[in-house]
Amino acid sequence: MDHLDGNALAGPLADYFSFDVTEARARCNGCGTVSEFARALVFTSPAGTVVRCGSCDHVLATLVEAGDRAWLGFSGVSALEVRRA
């Protein structure tokens, strides 16, 4: 089977990264709960933002912003459900 490089993802992923993330449902790696990101616990500090599961307090995601760059980590999410338009 032939393969393409990561540039082939630009079109398909653009649809999924232009949504309201608070409406997306995430599955927590810690407890398995599936819930909207809007129900998560969000802690902010000058160092960045930490998103924790509302059920078990497991870290779902992190966000660090500096100047014109941002680092997003979803290490605590095993799946993200997004509704298609």
Rounded to whole angstroms, how far apart are CA atoms 18 and 84? 10
Q: Mean pLDDT for the chain?
A: 91
Give the confidence band of 17 by pLDDT, cuts at 50, 70, 90: confident
Average pLDDT over residues 52-72: 95
pLDDT at 6: 83
Q: Answer for the pair 26, 80: CB distance below 8 angstroms, yes or no.
A: yes
Measured at the CA of 43, the angle between CA 13 and CA 56, to 5 degrees, comes to 85
pLDDT at 67 over 80: yes
CA dihedral of 46, 69, 78, 80, whole degrees rounded to 10: 110
Instruction: Indicate the SS3 state at residue 53.
Output: coil
Confidence bin at 10 (pLDDT 50/70/90): confident
Res 20: pLDDT: 85
